[in-house]
């Protein structure tokens, strides 16, 4: 499970972006500060070079560089940086200063050359100027170099002065964002608290008023779910209540007939009471078997069922055979109309057997005695399984209701409990198939047809 807090997630993302921006800002700030520090200190360095160049003279037609030692010491005095110089001429070569200091080309004469370089392992800024002392025909280059400590320190000080308030601003912004996000999430935390405070029977909708749009969508989905849950629970309760009520009748009859048998004054009455007892037990047994069948078709239970190819022709033959004795009892002409080849559907053999048994059972019970019942398998694009009888049929207005649980057409013969067709419909639904009821052939009886989806679309739920 992902246990990240939405608030922490939002804020860490926001914080990351702000820190990134602050870093970019700091880099830009430092480079700008360094640029201006260079501009100022370069100007000083150029001034120093020019004043040193003034010490170059011409004496008797020869170039001279003549500066008192004290003046040079003053020139080189700097508490922070190191300053180097070098004077050389084209005619006389090296004249004074640091031998290893290289010149920077400066064009034209008296112009200024400026560059960054290194000296004695330190980064330095170098300025050179060239001059031609009068009457010497010589060209002298004066070069001055200075380490960068002052510049870097100045740039760093400017950076700190600018960044410190920005860091403070960033902290305040994150704190305000934390408050804002907490406030923004309050409707969600309130909603969660409300749901948590409910007891399990309270499935009434959660209020949507006062919620922001995004939370309203969530509340609406929760309400949808609560609504469906409520319907399912009501259906479940109704079913349990109906089942209890329906089971009471055969059980009361069992007790009644058992008592009658016990108190029977003679053998004939006792046998009669036992026969009635047997019928009641049969009825209670059938009903509990049907209730169990209905429970098995519950989608929760069906997840574990593996759907495999089932041949409808073989199924019709096998189940049909099981019902022959019952058909014979009622003198019913029981027939099978199936194609030569197999008709395969993807399904659960046990459930499909139950479905077909229920339809045949109904046809044999409600069809006319000495009538005709047929089980038909067809495959014209869509596999179909039908059971047809030539009994009284089902009035048009009742056809929609007969699939409801516990519903029986008023005045129905026999001792059914109205679950058989509900089971048929559930099993069909689990196979993505449909059940429909029509009149039988010759405008007599009824025909129940289960239509499966064509092979390539047969994807069970
Ligand atoms: P049960 O047969 O136990 O009453 P079902 O759910 O199987 O329950 O059937 C519901 C009702 O539909 C039956 O009570 C009956 O009135 C009607 N019915 C079902 N099958 C037929 C049929 N083949 N012919 C006439 N009526 C039928």
Average pLDDT over residues 181-197: 85
Indicate which CATH number applies to the domain containing 240.
1.10.287
Q: Which residue minimizes the CA distance to atom 21 of ligand 1?
A: 362
- Shared domain for 281 and 385, answered yes or no, is no
Residue 140 lies in a domain: yes
- Shared domain for 19 and 74, answered yes or no, is yes
Q: Measure the CA–CA gap between 287 and 298, rounded to whole angstroms.
A: 17
- Shared domain for 35 and 144, answered yes or no, is yes
- Shared domain for 313 and 401, answered yes or no, is yes
Q: Which residue minimizes the CA distance to atom 20 of ligand 1?
A: 362
- Residue 415 CA, ligand 1 centroid: distance in Å: 10
Between 161-165, 230-234, 359-363, 389-393, the lowest mean confidence (pLDDT) is in: 230-234
- Shared domain for 373 and 434, answered yes or no, is yes
What ligand 1 atom has the least distance to the C-alpha of 423?
Answer: 6
In 353-402 the beta strands, taken as DSSP E runs, fall at: 372-380, 382-389
Residue 173 lies in a domain: no
- Shared domain for 292 and 309, answered yes or no, is no
Residue 180 lies in a domain: no
- Shared domain for 266 and 320, answered yes or no, is no
- Residue 255 CA, ligand 1 centroid: distance in Å: 27
Whether the predicted pLDDT of 301 surpasses 60: no
Indicate which CATH number applies to the domain containing 355.
3.30.565.10
Domain of 274 in residue numbering reads as 213-296
Q: Which residue minimizes the CA distance to atom 13 of ligand 1?
A: 408
Q: Measure the CA–CA gap between 34 and 155, rounded to whole angstroms.
A: 5
Residue 382 lies in a domain: yes
Rounded (5°) CA angle 369-294-330:
10
Boundary-marking domain end, from 253, 278, 296: 296
- Cβ-count burial of 24 within 10 angstroms (0-12 exposed, 13-18 middle, 19+ buried)? exposed
Between 147-151, 251-255, 298-302, 373-377, the lowest mean confidence (pLDDT) is in: 298-302
Name the pLDDT band for 458 (thresholds 50, 70, 90): very low
What ligand 1 atom has the least distance to the C-alpha of 419?
Answer: 6
Boundary-marking domain end, from 274, 296, 318: 296
Global pTM? 0.56
Total structural domains in the chain? 3
246 Cβ inside 6 Å of ligand 1:
no
- Shared domain for 242 and 145, answered yes or no, is no
Nearest-CA neighbor of 51 among 147, 142, 114? Answer: 142
Distance from CA of residue 235 to its chain's centroid?
31
412 Cβ inside 6 Å of ligand 1:
yes
Each residue of 203-256: pLDDT tens digit? 888 888 878 888 888 889 999 999 888 888 887 887 788 788 778 888 898 999
Q: At what angle do helices 149-197 and 6-53 cross, to 10 degrees?
A: 170
Task: Share the mean pLDDT of the chain.
Answer: 88
Q: Which residue minimizes the CA distance to atom 11 of ligand 1?
A: 408
What ligand 1 atom has the least distance to the C-alpha of 290?
Answer: 3
Indicate which CATH number applies to the domain containing 121.
3.30.450
Average pLDDT over residues 7-15: 86
- Shared domain for 288 and 310, answered yes or no, is no
pLDDT at 190: 85
pLDDT at 272: 94
Average pLDDT over residues 86-108: 87
What ligand 1 atom has the least distance to the C-alpha of 445?
Answer: 24
Average pLDDT over residues 167-186: 88
Over pLDDT 70: what percentage of the chain? 96
Over pLDDT 90: what percentage of the chain? 48
Residue 168 lies in a domain: no
Average pLDDT over residues 269-296: 88
Whether the predicted pLDDT of 30 surpasses 60: yes
């Amino acid at each position: 499970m992902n246990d990240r807090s939405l608030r922490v997630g939002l804020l860490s993302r926001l914080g990351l972006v702000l820190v990134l921006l602050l870093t970019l800002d700091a880099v830009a700030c430092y480079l700008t500060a360094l640029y201006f520090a260079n501009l100022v200190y370069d100007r000083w360095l150029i001034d120093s070079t020019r004043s040193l160049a003034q010490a170059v003279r011409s004496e008797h037609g020869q170039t001279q560089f003549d500066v008192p030692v004290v003046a040079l010491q003053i020139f080189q005095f700097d508490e922070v940086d190191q300053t180097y110089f070098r004077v050389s001429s084209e005619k006389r070569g090296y004249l004074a200063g640091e031998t290893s200091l290289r010149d920077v080309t400066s064009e034209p004469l008296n112009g200024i050359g400026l560059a960054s370089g290194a000296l004695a392992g330190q980064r330095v800024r170098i300025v050179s100027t060239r001059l031609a002392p009068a009457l010497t025909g010589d060209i002298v280059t004066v070069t001055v170099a200075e380490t960068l400590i002052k510049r870097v320190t100045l740039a760093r000080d400017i950076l700190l002065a600018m960044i410190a308030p920005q860091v403070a601003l960033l902290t305040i912004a994150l704190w305000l964002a934390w408050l804002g996000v907490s406030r923004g999430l309050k409707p969600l935390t309130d909603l969660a608290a409300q749901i948590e405070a409910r007891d399990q029977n309270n499935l009434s909708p959660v209020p949507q008023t006062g919620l922001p749009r995004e939370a309203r969508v969530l509340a609406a989905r929760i309400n949808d779910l609560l609504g469906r849950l409520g319907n399912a629970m009501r259906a479940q309760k109704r079913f349990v209540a109906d089942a209890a009520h329906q089971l009471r009748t055969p059980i009361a009859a069992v007790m009644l007939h058992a008592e009658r048998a016990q108190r029977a004054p003679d053998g004939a009455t006792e046998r009669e009471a036992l026969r009635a007892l047997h019928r009641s037990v049969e009825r209670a047994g059938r009903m509990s078997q049907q209730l169990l069948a209905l429970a098995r078709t519950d989608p929760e239970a069906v997840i574990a069922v593996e759907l495999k190819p089932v041949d409808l022709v073989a199924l019709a033959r096998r189940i049909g055979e099981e019902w022959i004795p019952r058909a014979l009892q009622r003198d019913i002409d029981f027939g099978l109309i199936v194609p030569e080849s197999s008709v395969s559907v993807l399904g659960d053999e046990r459930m499909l057997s139950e479905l077909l048994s229920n339809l045949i059972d109904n046809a044999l019970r409600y069809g006319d005695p000495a009538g005709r019942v047929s089980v038909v398998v067809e495959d014209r694009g869509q596999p179909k399984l039908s059971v047809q009888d030539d009994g009284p049929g089902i009035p048009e207005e009742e056809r929609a209701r007969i699939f409801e649980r516990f519903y029986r057409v008023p005045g129905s013969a026999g001792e059914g409990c109205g679950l058989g067709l509900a089971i048929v419909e559930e099993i069909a639904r689990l196979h993505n198939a449909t059940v429909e009821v029509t009149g039988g052939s010759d405008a007599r009886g009824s025909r129940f047809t289960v239509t499966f989806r064509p092979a390539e679309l047969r994807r069970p739920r």
